[in-house]
């Protein structure tokens, strides 16, 4: 057998093996099952997003309020520490 005939035989055998391969068929309900899983996927509802936004707004508002109260309190503490001079004696 010469080299050309041997390679042709190998190719023919490969094609025969490829021809015997069965094509894979998906289940009939695979597409419907996939769509159902996509539709049943849990999604965050708009209500939960609104609740989270409201809670976040309340948190920031309370932080601003507490910080402003703290600044007022600090100003009052500083004013208590600074003594005021009484210049009544020096006023003519």
CA distance to 18, 19, 25, 33, per residue, from 22 (Å):
9, 8, 9, 24
Name the residue among 41, 57, 37 with its Cα closest to residue 49: 57
- 8-42 tens-digit pLDDT: 778 888 888 888 888 888 888 888 888 888 887 77
Place of tokens 């976040």: 56
Does the model's pTM come out above 0.75?
no
């Amino acid at each position: 057998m010469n080299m050309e005939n041997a390679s042709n035989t190998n190719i023919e055998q490969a094609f025969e093996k490829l021809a015997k391969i069965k094509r894979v068929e998906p289940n009939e309900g695979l597409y419907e099952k996939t769509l159902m899983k996509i539709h049943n996927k849990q999604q965050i509802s708009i209500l939960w997003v609104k609740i989270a936004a409201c809670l976040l707004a309340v948190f920031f508002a309370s932080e601003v309020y507490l910080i402003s109260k703290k600044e007022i309190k600090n100003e009052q503490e500083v004013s208590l520490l600074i003594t005021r001079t009484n210049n009544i004696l020096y006023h003519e």
